[in-house]
Amino acid sequence: MAEVEAHPDSDSPSFSDHIPVMLDSAVALLNVRPGLTYVDATAGGGSHLKKILDKQKGSGLAIGVDKDTGAIEKLKTRLKGEKVELVQADFAELKEILPRFGVSTITGGILADLGVSSMQVDDPARGFSFNKDGPLDMRMNDRQELSAAQLVNQLPQDELANLIFEYGEEKNSRAIARAIVAARPLNRTSELAEIVCRAAKGRGIRQSKRSSRTGKVNAIHPATRTFQALRIAVNSELESLELLLEQSRSLLAPGARLVVITFHSLEDRLVKQFFRRMASHCVCPPRQPVCTCDKKPEFLIITRKPLVAEEKEVLANVRSRSAKLRAGEKLP
């Protein structure tokens, strides 16, 4: 087992190389009780899942899903002897996965701690990091064909610029796409990072990002947004999230909870809008004087404002800086 690190938000040591974000708050909001079924849709290094299992006290069912084959294999060893089912799959396929375990409705709840794990980012061979040289890969699921190299080397310039703009919210996307196309073929993360830095520098652009937690503007590496955009596209992250949210409507039993931790504004927007839509009593056009839609709220929003990590957690784990946690409970 890897080095054990104390987690600031927890009274128990971290379970894996990945320091879990908002571990205690997320599991508390999931309201884990023995006898019920819980799904950890992003099992990763297993810290959240282990905490769920501890709270279940051996009664009920826990299903851990991750599209990363290596993560699931490691968890099979780490969680040996625990009452847990581990599945390598995209959480967008939850509806198809559950019947394999005789589950039609999730009585306890679903947890999704989105994005990438430290194990993925820290491994240069996975190609997620602009700080570590590696192949331009970025696939969470190594069984999938599409990689970052294919997007970088094969997309028409306009499409590449749109992708970097849309998924990276990168204002300099056109210049970056032009520089990438001129430098093709690119096969290494270091090559891409350098091209992006040069394109940004050439336009005198300093990259910064406003912290959702403190409101302060922090300087970021010029390649951050481009790498984020490619990662989101390679792994269809937003499409999968939309499918998971939509499926939770029919999969969760009344009283069951949905807890989602996001790491960038595109994800958070989807979750926020989903909960708002689900909690609303009326979807009539705003100018219509009388409600005729008969809409019933489907979820109760538990976190009126998203939870963010406390200062001490952010100091100990920089990854938690951009985390936002939202939770809702399925209504009858």
Ligand X SMILES: C[S@@+](CC[C@H](N)C(=O)[O-])C[C@H]1O[C@@H](n2cnc3c(N)ncnc32)[C@H](O)[C@@H]1O
- Contacts with ligand X by CB under 6 A lie at 16, 18, 20, 42, 44-48, 65-68, 71, 90-92, 113, 115-117, 140, 240
Residue in 232, 152, 236, 161 with CA at minimum distance from that of residue 187? 152
30 or 200: whose CB is closer to ligand X?
30
Q: How far is the CB of 117 from ligand X (least distance, A)?
A: 4
Residue in 186, 208, 204, 205 with CA at minimum distance from that of residue 195? 186
140 or 177: whose CB is closer to ligand X?
140
Q: Token pair of 200, please?
A: 């940004």
Q: How far is the CB of 101 from ligand X (least distance, A)?
A: 16
Q: How far is the CB of 246 from ligand X (least distance, A)?
A: 13
71 or 160: whose CB is closer to ligand X?
71
Residue in 93, 85, 68, 239 with CA at minimum distance from that of residue 143? 68
Q: Token pair of 15, please?
A: 């379970």
Strand boundaries in the chain, DSSP class E: 37-40, 61-66, 84-88, 109-113, 208-210, 217-219, 257-262, 299-301, 324-330
Q: How far is the CB of 85 from ligand X (least distance, A)?
A: 14
Residue 4 DSSP class: P
User: Can you name the residues that pair with 84 across neighbouring β-strands?
Assistant: 62
120 or 172: whose CB is closer to ligand X?
120
Residue pair 42/114 in contact (Cβ under 8 Å)? The answer is: yes
Q: How far is the CB of 240 from ligand X (least distance, A)?
A: 4
Distance CA 78, CA 84 (A): 11
Q: Which residue is nearest to ligand X (CB)?
A: 44
Q: How far is the CB of 267 from ligand X (least distance, A)?
A: 10
16 or 207: whose CB is closer to ligand X?
16
Q: How far is the CB of 138 from ligand X (least distance, A)?
A: 11
Three-state DSSP class for residue 79: coil
77 or 292: whose CB is closer to ligand X?
77
42 or 228: whose CB is closer to ligand X?
42
Residue in 145, 116, 146 with CA at minimum distance from that of residue 261? 116
